Amino acid sequence: MSTFIALPAFNDNYIWLLLAEDGERLAVVDPGDAKPVINWLGKHPEYRLTDILVTHHHPDHVGGVAALKAGTGCKVWGPSAENIPARDRALDDGDTLKLFGQTLEVIAVPGHTLGHIAYYCENQGDPWLLSGDTLFAGGCGRLFEGTAEQMHSSLNKLAALPAQTRVYCAHEYTQANLRFAQAVEPENADIRVRLEVVDDLRAAARMTLPSDLALELLTNPFLRADCEAVTQAASAHAGKPLSPGLETFAAVRAWKDSF
């Protein structure tokens, strides 16, 4: 079960569909709008929606949940610490769930919201991660409810997963994120090359996801707060010396907020 389809929603959201190998069942991730999912199901009547996976409570992630559950009777999974509409099973850090024969691990990743969770699947050596609005391609989520310390800790959890883990996040922010990353590390050749590729993809109206952790570790400044170049850039921007790690991360997150 590693077939993913992205349905665009709103201005820059992606609603991910996970298709079972039996060609009959599917799960939906963070359906902020029911219409794209209903339209897809109408064109693929052989599939039935059995599960909805929710990462956090923001309206652009849960706005379509109740309608889809009412229309299909599917099961809704979501974080226990947040108000998730029509939720059947409340999930906490370390919980597991079975989906189409595979085991998904729940990872608490507070920061963007206080109860945000991610879903990780080892997938027989081809791992993948549903990161919601915590880890983006080239970036991370804003701190709407949590602290820099919480987000830094959450990202460190995700960064410790296998490097080949494919990252399915919820927004098409890659180009803007990498432009910021280049401002932080103008001498980083990996960022330069990645941004060139992403610029070409966006010019052709193509999506830039999924990413993978190996690439993120090379190009995402929020995963590189221990790197000397990032600490030096953050210190220069802040106008004072900063320590690697959390202090640098907090400064880079504040820098990005006004970039």
* Three-state secondary structure readout of the chain: CCEEEEEEECCCEEEEEEECCCCCEEEEECCCCHHHHHHHHHHCCCCEEEEEECCCCCHHHHCCHHHHHHHHCCEEEEECCCCCCCCCEEECCCCEEEECCEEEEEEECCCCCCCCEEEEECHHHCCEEEEECCEECCEECCCCCCCHHHHHHHHHHHHCCCCCCEEEECECCHHHHHHHHHHHCCCCHHHHHHHHHHHHHHHCCCCCCCEEHHHHHHHCHHHCCCCHHHHHHHHHHHCCCCCCCHHHHHHHHHHHHCC
Known catalytic residue at 56:
yes
Q: What is the dihedral of CA 138, 14, 165, 158, to 10 degrees?
A: 60
Catalytic residue among 56, 92, 190, 237: 56
Known catalytic residue at 112:
yes
Catalytic residue among 112, 200, 226, 257: 112
Known catalytic residue at 237:
no
Known catalytic residue at 12:
no
Q: What is the dihedral of CA 103, 114, 138, 6, to 10 degrees?
A: 50
d(CA 177, CA 134): 13
- φ/ψ (deg, to 5) at 130: -100, 105
Catalytic residue among 30, 51, 57, 58: 58
Catalytic residue among 61, 126, 152, 190: 61
Catalytic residue among 30, 33, 51, 60: 60
Active site residues: 56, 58, 60-61, 112, 133, 171
